[in-house]
């Protein structure tokens, strides 16, 4: 079985999927953390490897960039491959002074002015929530491993480059702590298809201090986030 965007056989995709945006990050995670890994997708350059982490089958699948790309892949994984849960891992830009470069952030809810929710007839739904049970598993896992985790709302935007961008508006009016580009469609799909979805972010940029990680650091310096996602993934029933 395959879809327009995924060439994998159904049995090649694990029930729990970890989704970075970057295909290179998929390769890095698979190479460093998975045993008996197998490349199961490379259509359009979006790579997926399935292997074993501590004897549990896990798939690492790149989502690409943006709400539409995440929307396509997460929908097909949930709907056509019977995936139970997706944990997105990625980078984010901080909107607040107390959310610093390198901090880990667990998304409780995602705000967006995207029209993606219209595809389900829910155009007025501009805030969507992650799965509470999956989030609790991630929080518990973080405590067990001594990992500090911030929790809150992210701004899921469709525009990476913005002229005269007022990040304080989203912080003060929408209660957003940081910004990224994929959670909104992931959470919408999970909600509509009765699946589990969550997102762990590493703060890579700060609108407050103008600090940012370079492309190499973004690809390789997220090991704490990766380990947290893997440890939580193998506990999902």
Report how far residue 95's alpha carbon sits from residue 156's, in angstroms, rounded to the nearest whole number: 13
Q: Tell me the β-bridge partners of 155.
A: 111, 179
Query: Which candidate in 177, 205, 221, 223 is catalytic?
Result: 205
Q: Tell me the β-bridge partners of 154.
A: 110, 178
Burial 190-202 (b: 16+ CB within 10 A, else e): bbbeebbbbbbbb
Q: 223-233 and 23-33 are packed helices; what angle lies between their axes, rounded to 10 degrees?
A: 70
CA–chain centroid gap for 29, Å, is 14
Residue 98 annotated as catalytic: no
Q: What is the DSSP letter of 84?
A: -
Taking alpha carbons only, the member of 75, 51, 36 closest to residue 233 is: 51
Sign (positive or negative) of CA dihedral 93, 96, 100, 102: negative
Encoding tokens for residue 44?
A: 């359009």
Report how far residue 31's alpha carbon sits from residue 21's, in angstroms, rounded to the nearest whole number: 17
SS3 92: strand
Please, what is the Cα angle at 197 between 193 and 203, to 5 degrees?
A: 145
Q: Which residues carry out catalysis?
A: 205
């Amino acid at each position: 079985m395959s879809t327009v965007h995924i060439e994998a056989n159904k049995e090649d995709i694990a029930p729990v999927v970890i989704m970075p945006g970057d295909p290179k990050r998929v390769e890095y995670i698979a190479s460093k953390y998975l045993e008996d890994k197998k490349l199961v997708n490379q259509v359009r350059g979006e790579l997926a490897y399935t292997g074993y982490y501590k004897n549990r089958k896990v798939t690492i699948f790149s989502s690409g960039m943006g709400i539409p790309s995440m929307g396509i892949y997460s929908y097909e994984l949930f709907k056509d491959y019977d995936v139970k849960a997706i944990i997105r891992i990625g980078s984010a830009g901080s909107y607040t002074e107390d959310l610093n470069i390198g901090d880990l952030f667990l998304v409780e809810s995602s705000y967006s002015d995207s029209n993606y929710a219209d595809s389900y007839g829910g155009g007025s739904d501009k805030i969507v929530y992650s799965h509470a049970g999956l989030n609790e598993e991630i929080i518990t896992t973080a405590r067990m491993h001594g990992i500090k985790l911030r929790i809150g709302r992210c701004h899921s935007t469709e525009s990476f480059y913005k002229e005269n961008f007022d990040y304080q508006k989203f912080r003060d009016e929408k209660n957003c702590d940081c910004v990224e580009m994929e959670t909104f469609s992931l959470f919408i799909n999970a909600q509509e298809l009765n699946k589990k979805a969550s997102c762990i972010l590493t703060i890579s940029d700060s609108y407050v201090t103008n600090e940012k990680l370079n492309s190499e650091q973004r690809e390789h310096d997220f090991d704490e986030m990766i380990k947290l996602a893997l440890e939580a993934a193998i506990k999902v029933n």
